[in-house]
Amino acid sequence: MDLSAITATEAVRRLSAGDISSTELLDAQIAVVEARNDELNAVVTAEVDAARIAAAMADKRRARGEDLGPLGGLPVTLKDSYETVGLTTACGSPEYADYVPETDSDAAQAIRTSGGIIFGKTNTPLMTGDHQTYNEVYGLTRNPWNPERTAGGSSGGAAVAVATGMSLLEFGSDIGGSLRQPAHMNGVFGFKPTHGVLSLRGHIPGPPGTLAPRDLGVGGPLGRSIDDLELMFRATLTVGAFSGIPGAKLPASDGPLSVADLRLAMWSDDPMATVSAACKQAVERIGAELDTAGAGVHADLRPSMPTDKLHITYLGLLWAVTAAGFPDPVYNGLAKAAREAAFDDMSAVVPRLMTSSHKTWLKNNEIRHKAMASWERLFETVDAVIMPVAPTPAFPHDIESQYPTRLVDVDGTDRPYVDTLFWAGLATMPGLPSVVVPTGAVDGLPVGLQIIGPRYSDFRLLDIARTISNVTSARFVAPGSD
């Protein structure tokens, strides 16, 4: 059996049964890293010797009948934005290229406490700031379906590792689709939980030592099945959360769901961020399969707040929190450019959003809470909303052009790169949970969709996504198999 080809859930079951060992599983994953990482550049730091010692210890403890926790001695990798004792944590930044933390992030601590063996770190763009994964420290991460295409970002290395079997389970982060877009572009499952449920303490950015939670940002798992996502989600609920509702007290799901009980809204396209035919048709195809299976499918339901207002408010909040972590000279330069630009100078839009006043933030925050109420009213009618993750499948690498002027090709039409934030922002701005499921490949590139549910419905949303995956063609397929 190829142990790099199974799901994390199956691996944990086999570990518990004594059918395989942590050492064998680690060896299988390291073999994939050695065979494919030179080309794909997903795993950027590894401590194999230390991992082998930890795996051997887990095997001995298991043989003595000890409980190893929910991860049960599973070797995993972790996005290189999480501080991890004994492993360089650069977050793609030359400033941190030699930074080896003395304390674990809450995510790393939770994974270890739950029985995970962290053997490597996966690549991310500079300070997690792009939908491509490239930085000057480690270079470019490539898509395993087509190395000339992006792996997505910022959890690009994480998604590639899971897709190829370098790692069976990962933990990324998301503020602008940073784990959802890589899941979509590499054909794996991903989960952005409700904002505040999982701790981001020890995540870069902000700088090491930051204690305050980051507005909009969340951590979440990537895997090969919904069961994998739930496995890692439960494992990382073992440390404190930032929100008023600790993860351990999240409402339980009602258990297995019948497809006939589901009420689902389909949102396949929007003028604010037109999507490619491949992405639109994936949503419509899964919607048709769900309708045939007996679900209540509705194509005309949306939040009452206009989508342009949702998007503009999200961008205001996003750019403000992004710029807050910039060094003072960079921030002051942006503020100067914003002040001195002509009123109609479109190049000043991003600097103005990044350096907006606290009064502007409070205004956007009020709109955010009204957006939450708008979504809550919609969820009185439907259980979840299904929509694209991004405007396109994985696009060609573009690391030369600057972010504000970069374009993305949507079926032959150049669209602003900021469009890549639209679909992610619909869940991020109001803090909603979102599950990404792969739907297959079009022209050799995977296409995913996202399923968005009410705040704090995380466990129920995972059950909804599991039901959808079980009754439709949405499932993991290894790169090159479809």
Domain that holds residue 98: 3-187+194-249
* 277 backbone dihedrals φ, ψ, rounded to 5°: -60, -40
241 within a domain of the structure (yes/no) = yes
pLDDT for 352 equals 81
68 token code pair: 């190893």
290 within a domain of the structure (yes/no) = yes
Contacting residues for 145 by C-beta, under 8 A, at least 6 apart: 163, 186, 187, 394, 441, 444, 445, 446, 479, 480
My answer on whether 204 and 299 are in the same domain is: no
66 within a domain of the structure (yes/no) = yes
Contacting residues for 85 by C-beta, under 8 A, at least 6 apart: 100, 101, 102, 103, 104, 108
Q: Is 436 helix (H, G, I), strand (E, B) or coil?
A: strand
My answer on whether 294 and 174 are in the same domain is: no
DSSP label at 252? P
**Strand locations in 279-358 (E):** 296-298
Percent residues over pLDDT 70 in the chain: 96
Please classify residue 407 by burial: count the beta carbons closer than 10 Å to its beta carbon, then call 0-12 exposed, 13-18 middle and 19+ buried: middle
Q: Is the pLDDT of residue 296 over 90?
A: yes
Domain count, the chain: 2
DSSP label at 258? -
- Residue 7's nearest CA partner among 450, 466, 338, 398 is 466
339 within a domain of the structure (yes/no) = yes
My answer on whether 241 and 358 are in the same domain is: no
d(CA 181, CA 292): 28
For the stretch 420-471, pLDDT in tens is 999 999 999 999 999 999 999 999 999 999 999 999 999 999 999 999 999 9
My answer on whether 10 and 69 are in the same domain is: yes
d(CA 43, CA 49): 16
My answer on whether 275 and 365 are in the same domain is: yes
My answer on whether 433 and 300 are in the same domain is: yes
Q: Is the pLDDT of residue 393 over 90?
A: yes
pLDDT for 245 equals 56
Contacting residues for 143 by C-beta, under 8 A, at least 6 apart: 40, 149, 150, 151, 152, 160, 185, 186, 394, 445
Q: Is the pTM of this model over 0.85?
A: yes
My answer on whether 224 and 111 are in the same domain is: yes
DSSP label at 351? H
My answer on whether 397 and 274 are in the same domain is: yes
My answer on whether 234 and 318 are in the same domain is: no
* 70 backbone dihedrals φ, ψ, rounded to 5°: -60, -25
For the stretch 143-185, pLDDT in tens is 999 999 999 999 999 999 999 999 999 999 999 999 999 999 9
Instruction: Residue 210: give its domain's CATH number.
Output: 3.90.1300.10
My answer on whether 332 and 462 are in the same domain is: yes
Average the pLDDT over each of 17-21, 34-38, 183-187, 334-338 and give the range with the smallest value: 334-338
